[in-house]
Amino acid sequence: MQPIVLIHGGAGTIAEELHEAALAGVSAAAEIGRRALQSGADAVTAAVAAVRSMEDEPAFNAGRGACMNADGDIEVDAGIMRSWDRRSGAVGGVRELRDPILLARLVMEQTPHCLLVGQGAEALARRHQLGHFGRAEVETTKARERWLVARSGQGARDNRADTVGAIALDHRGHLCAAGSTGGVLLKIPGRVGDTPIVGAGFYADPDLGACCCTGVGEAILTHMLAYRALTLAAAAPEAASARLRALCAEISAAHAGAAIGLILLRPDGQRVLVHQSDHMSWAVADGEQPVIAGLRRE
């Protein structure tokens, strides 16, 4: 099997001055995932490495630089699923954690559960001495400025996009889907979106493939987008891109023009990257070929 890594840096409207950083960030993540696969790592390790690199990059709404909730606190979500045994793990509403994808992986690999939230998730991380917690680990001056502007009512929109995600296909044909987010700027404390919800924000299956979604969580949750996209693509592989583009448009229209996007990889390596938003930064590392990346809608 030719290893492949697909990356997204979130659907939404990205300010012009952040385009370069977003493209550099997704390209670097694709390369990091590919190098992991080339060195013999499995799909889970490759997808986690790719997402971790984007959690550290403040151009994205995840980990360091994640957006703030209505109280000015930072609560993050993350989810991961591997195809071969359909195990998944996720965390929601975790405060001030820079690397929540590591905690989601821990839930998947070392607990009998799929989703832990809030204090329980934080306690698990501490028991395993995992993760970087603290305001200084996650807050950036830019994120605080965006929060102050949004709170004053001068502009509620973040000037980055939503969420980061990665899909890896390894030499054995195993797939992994992983995502991480700060959620929505000014969200009500405790709000959890699609990113840690299996079947909505992400899914991986040996027969269907893997999918990571991005955009307004409430719209994605309502439509169980990740699983639905995979079944649609499996039913008509030759028309997958067109059908999924139409599905994103349909969901967006039903949710007041919400940004919606997804990346999807089928077990045979066929890929789909679509979005109904001004931008979605994305990158692909396919075998030995140079990484390709983009940001605008076709």
In the complex, which residues of this chain contact ligand GLY (CB under 6 A)?
162-163, 181, 183-184, 193-195, 214-217
CB of 214 to ligand GLY, least distance (A): 6
Cβ proximity to ligand GLY: between 163 and 252 the closer is 163
Q: Identify the active-site residue in 45, 163, 181, 195.
A: 163
CB of 277 to ligand GLY, least distance (A): 11
Cβ proximity to ligand GLY: between 69 and 195 the closer is 195
- Cα-only R_g, the chain: 17
Q: How remote is the C-alpha of 233 from its chain's centroid?
A: 20
Three-state DSSP state, 197: coil
Cβ proximity to ligand GLY: between 139 and 162 the closer is 162
CB of 69 to ligand GLY, least distance (A): 11
DSSP secondary structure code for residue 265 in this structure = E
- Return the residue nearest ligand GLY (CB atom): 193
Residue bearing tokens 């493939």? 209
CB of 280 to ligand GLY, least distance (A): 12
Catalytic-residue membership of 45: no
Cβ proximity to ligand GLY: between 136 and 156 the closer is 156
Reading the block at residue 239, the tokens are 């028309």
Just list the catalytic residues.
163
